Amino acid sequence: MIDLENVTKAYSTGNHALNGVSLHIDKGEFVFIVGDSGSGKSTLIKLLLKELEPTSGTIKVNGINLNKMKQRAIPKYRRKIGVVFQDFRLLKDRNVYENIAFAQRVVITPTKNIRKNVPAMLSLVGLAEKYKSYPKQLSGGEQQRVALARALVNKPNILLADEPTGNLDPKNSKEIMKLLETINERGTTVVVVTHNQEIVDQMKKRVIAMHRGVIISDERKAGYIQHAN
């Protein structure tokens, strides 16, 4: 489902955020990506969404080589992927309802379905009564949950979540993780970037650890691995 082969990403500053990363994730897997700040986790997510282009190496998702993908095909490709961005990236001028509805409009969903799906999604992430609020009226954790609702509303076959619980308290974090697990059980491939050691330890999933742009360990049913510099 997701295949990286010797992928390197150097930013224009010359910074090598990823350095020869090879990785394979199967359909239906639940994967944690851990690693200290600046190790290249978000860069990896951005490459998978084709927000960035790799400097070298190939990335294949759903059997499609992203390097060879035509510009015109990108929107369609992205619609199959749900993303929770580390910085949320909500539309500031639209309320919670519209932010989630927007993802549905993009895939041209009939209005009557949007009216059904959006409230259902909001109650799933526990934000049912805040649907009229604007992003700046929400706490970090609430914004994060809106971002998650938006990522999930179109029932993507891959979910990429960059720190989806970074601003949540332990109780909320656990609930969100449970939600992600449920979605995974229904067939969605889930990739979660996190710093939350406790949760990783509890969930016993595959854990990919990164350090300075390289994968330093990749273990099934693992706990959080602490690596000293």
Partner 1 sequence: MTSVKLGTYSMRISTIGYCLKQGLKNIWRNKMFSLASIATMSICIFLFGLFFCVVQNFQYMVKEVESGVSVTVFFDEDISQDEAAMKEIGAKIAAREEVEEAQFVSAEETWESYKDIYFAEAPHLAEGFANDNPLAKQAHYVIYPKDVEDQNSLVEYLESVEGIRRVNKSVEVANILTNFNLLVGYVSVAIIILLLCVSVFLISNTVTIGIAVRKEEIAIMKLIGATNSFVKAPFVVEGLLIGIIGGAIPLGLLYLLYTRLIRYMGGQFDNLAGLMQFLPVDQMFRTLLPVGLALGAGIGFFGSYLTIRKHLRV
Ligand X SMILES: Nc1ncnc2c1ncn2[C@@H]1O[C@H](COP(=O)(O)OP(=O)(O)OP(=O)(O)O)[C@@H](O)[C@H]1O
43 binds ligand X (CB under 6 A): yes
Which residues, including other chains, have CB under 8 Å from residue 30's CB and lie 6 or more apart? 180, 181, 184, 189, 190, 192, 203, 205, 206
Site string for partner 1, 38-77 (x = CB under 8 A): -----------x-x-------------------x--xxxx
- The Cα 177–Cα 165 span in angstroms is 8
Among residues 119 and 166, whose Cβ is nearest to ligand X? Answer: 166
Rounded to whole angstroms, what are the CA distances from 91 to 105, 135, 144, 153? 14, 8, 13, 16
Closest CB 111 distance from partner 1, rounded Å:
4
- At its nearest, how many Å lie between Mg ion and the CB of residue 4? 17
Binding of residue 91 to partner 1 (CB under 8 A): yes
Residues 6+ apart with CB under 8 A from 206: 29, 30, 31, 32, 218, 219, 220, 221, 222
* Binding string, residues 151-190; x marks residues near partner 1 by CB under 8 A: ----------------------------------------
Q: Please, which residues bridge with residue 2 across strands?
A: 25, 61
Closer to ligand X at the Cβ: 40 or 156?
40
Which one of residues 2, 34, 41, 148 is an interface residue with ligand X (CB under 6 A)?
A: 41
Q: Quick one: what does residue 109 bind among partner 1, Mg ion, ligand X, none, with the CB cut-off 5 to 8 Å set by partner type?
A: partner 1
Q: 157, 200, 217: which is closest to 21 by C-alpha?
A: 217
108 binding partner (options ligand X, Mg ion, partner 1, none; Cβ < 5 to 8 Å by kind): partner 1
DSSP conformation letters of 5-38: EEEEEE-TTS-EEEEEEEEEE-TT-EEEEEE-TT
Query: Does 95 engage in binding with ligand X (CB under 6 A)?
Result: no
Q: Give the Cα-Cα-Cα angle 193, 105, 126 (nearest 5 degrees).
A: 50
Binding site for partner 1 (CB under 8 A): 49, 51, 71, 74-79, 83, 85, 89-93, 102-103, 105-112, 114, 150
Positions in the binding site for ligand X (CB under 6 A): 11, 13, 15, 17, 35, 37-43, 86
